[in-house]
Structure 1
Amino acid sequence: MGFCEKRIQLAHLYGEQVTHEQQKDRARGQLAHQRYLEDGLSSRGDRRCFVATCVFGQDALETQVLRQYRDAVLLRCRLGRWIVGLYYRTSPSLCAHLVRSAAAMDATRRLLRVVVAGCLLHIARRDEQ
């Protein structure tokens, strides 16, 4: 945001003149930004985990672990963000296939349990350091 030079000069000479309405709006905006930031850094903010939700359920432990791994590890590097973006583009169609095939659902469930175990180990090692 930019300010005109005159406003900066007046604020310097007379102090910041903020009305009660502006104070309320500023506080509301700061609270909204804080919530947005917290949602972006926590698993509550982005609950998209299509395949795990399809296979295990929305609030299953496995789904929560995968979300935690995404937030704590993948979203913190460029390659990880690219992988997550690719996953978001392809996983809805994968889920449509899984719903139609019990064998594919079972195989995916077994594979994801191995992935979840690896994610848990990686997170535990990271936390130890």
Structure 2
Amino acid sequence: MNKNSSKKTPPVAASDVGRAAFCPHFLELKQQGHTPSKQAQYLMKQGSQAHADFNQSITRAKSKDKRCYIASYLYGIDDPRTESLRQFRDKKLLPHKAGRFFVSAYYRTSPFIITLAQKSSMINKLLNTAINGFMTKIKDLNNNKNKGDS
């Protein structure tokens, strides 16, 4: 049997690689069975909490996404109809891969659509009719859901 194949080195966890970037001797010390000092453990705990806080703030910022270009153009950024469409996006579209694809395509194309609507009253009317029709469908879906809950 070959000397090199008798013992396999276990894979290194990504978090350990990160720690090794901070302390180049970390992996060697861990392999030798050394444990971090109390002060190092305290500092690692503080660092982990800072990372968790940062990640939570990013998640909160994402959930308060104010973009809804076409509705903001038609109704205003703080209009209840615009907020209703944002909620539809967040609750119904974003949880699904196809919904995320649709939202991404919408964000890429809607500024162009708004530019066209600003230049053409006919396109503006069509856009208004389409969004109002969509709003009606959303209200109908919500009303039917609420009737089924009773």
The TM-score, its normalising length taken from structure 1, stands at 0.76
Kept in 2: contact 1:56–1:109 (CA 8 A): no
Aligned match of 2:35: 11
Give the SS at the match of 2:77.
Answer: coil
RMSD: 2.9
Q: Give yes or no for the alignment of 1:114 onto 2:127.
A: no
Deviations 1:16-40 (A, max 9, x none): 83345x5544333211111212333
Aligned match of 2:15: 2
106-115 or 80-89, which deviates more: 106-115
Aligned length: 124
How far, CA to CA, are the matches of 1:24 and 1:82 in structure 2? 37
**Deviation, structure 1 residue 53:** 1.1
Kept in 2: contact 1:52–1:63 (CA 8 A): yes
The amino acid across from 2:15 in the alignment is G
How far, CA to CA, are the matches of 2:128 and 2:41 in structure 1? 57
How far, CA to CA, are the matches of 1:56 and 1:11 in structure 2? 60
Identity, in percent, stands at 22
How far, CA to CA, are the matches of 1:5 and 1:75 in structure 2? 44
72-81 or 106-115, which deviates more: 106-115
**Deviation, structure 1 residue 69:** 0.6
Q: Give yes or no for the alignment of 1:75 onto 2:94.
A: yes
Flag the 1:7–1:61 CA change in 2: closer, same or farther, 3 A: same
State the structure with more CA Rg.
2
Instruction: Structure 2 unaligned segments of length 5 or more: list them.
Output: 1-13, 17-26
The amino acid across from 1:78 in the alignment is K
**Deviation, structure 1 residue 5:** 6.1
Instruction: Structure 1 unaligned segments of length 5 or more: list them.
Output: none
Which of 112, 119, 125 aligns to 1:93? It is 112
The amino acid across from 1:97 in the alignment is L
Aligned match of 2:67: 48
The structure, 1 or 2, with the larger RCO (C-alpha pairs under 8 Å, 6+ apart) is 1
The TM-score, its normalising length taken from structure 2, stands at 0.67
